[in-house]
Amino acid sequence: MPKRSCTFNNELQNEYPFLKKVFNQVDRVKCSCGSEFSVSHGGRADIKDHLKSSRHKNNLLVSAGSSKLTSYFKSSEPHNKELLLAAKEATSLTTLKDIKIVPVIIRYFQPEFGIKVKFLEFKSVPGETAEILTNHIMTVLKEHNLDKKVIGFCGDNCNTNFGGVKRGGNNNVFARMN
Ligand SMILES: [Zn+2]
């Protein structure tokens, strides 16, 4: 009896929306990183192998500049690198359209799983003053009951986040969050 081979079914499609079935093939998929592979041997295991492969990771880094932001959000288990790339793209999007989008990303540690990175919120805000940003971040943290658990804040080099060259003053996100 021939061994039954795996196909790319609806369940897998829902789980990995960034994979597209290759036309007229039941077991071949094209990944958002640009590579094509077969899932006939192990189904989900084939996909996980691919996601771990250096081919996938390197291609993603290369294509990050041009691929769509949305493709990073649908995966149920996004890689840290993908999240960082998405955040980076969000920053560049803001300069394009004059819409201020603030990605709030949390990094946390779980003894069983190690360090995890997750998107908490991804919304536009009415401006980019320290006050608006601080209020927004604190609201998001409170919504998730995390406001008392934060041990660090990381933002880009903009003065609004940490103050000017001397890192002084109180009108910046870091000082306001304290
Ligand atoms: Zn890939």
The model's confidence at residue 95, banded by pLDDT at 50, 70 and 90, is very low
CA of 25 to the centre of ligand 1 (A): 18
CA of 58 to the centre of ligand 1 (A): 9
CA of 50 to the centre of ligand 1 (A): 6
pLDDT > 60? residue 78:
no
Question: Distances from the Cα of 17 to the Cαs of 10, 12, 32, 140, in angstroms?
Answer: 10, 8, 9, 27
Q: Give CA–CA dist 18/85, Å, rounded.
A: 15
> pTM of the full predicted structure?
0.45
Q: Give CA–CA dist 161/156, Å, rounded.
A: 7
Q: Give CA–CA dist 33/26, Å, rounded.
A: 20
CA of 175 to the centre of ligand 1 (A): 41
CA of 67 to the centre of ligand 1 (A): 13
Question: Distances from the Cα of 58 to the Cαs of 55, 72, 81, in angstroms?
Answer: 5, 15, 11
Widest distance between CA atoms in the chain = 75
Cβ contacts of 136 within 8 Å, gap of 6 or more: 102, 104, 123, 125
CA of 76 to the centre of ligand 1 (A): 15
CA of 29 to the centre of ligand 1 (A): 10
Q: Mean pLDDT, to the nearest integer, of 146-162?
A: 79
CA of 56 to the centre of ligand 1 (A): 4
DSSP H or E stretch at residue 152: none
DSSP H or E stretch at residue 164: none
11: helix, strand or coil: helix
Lowest mean pLDDT among 33-42, 52-61, 134-143: 52-61
The model's confidence at residue 175, banded by pLDDT at 50, 70 and 90, is confident
CA of 35 to the centre of ligand 1 (A): 6
CA of 140 to the centre of ligand 1 (A): 32
| Average pLDDT in the chain | 77
**Tally of residues, the chain:** 178
CA of 31 to the centre of ligand 1 (A): 4
